[in-house]
Amino acid sequence: MVKPNDAEGEVTQDEILKMLEDAAQARLKMSATEMLERYETGQLADPSSVADLIALAGLLKKPVAA
């Protein structure tokens, strides 16, 4: 439930990280960090299957992958 003083639709960095981690584990059986590292190095087998997660990662203020 959104409280009157809460910003509507606001998601924290921690919530984004949790969503990424849960989805990467469920879909690819790997961590979000590994998924993003593979994406950035061109080693992710089918990046289009996780395009939504890649976009979500773009909302982070600092990168997940080192």
**Are 31 and 21 spatial neighbours (Cβ–Cβ below 8 Å)?**
yes
Task: List all residues 6 or more positions away from 5 whose beta carbon is below 8 Å from its beta carbon.
Answer: none
pLDDT number for residue 40: 93
* pLDDT tens-digit map of 15-54: 999 999 999 999 999 999 999 999 999 999 999 999 999 9
* 50, burial (CB in 10 Å: exposed 0-12, middle 13-18, buried 19+): buried
Report which of 29, 30, 31 is spatially closest to residue 17, judged by C-alpha positions. Answer: 31
pTM of the entire predicted model: 0.75
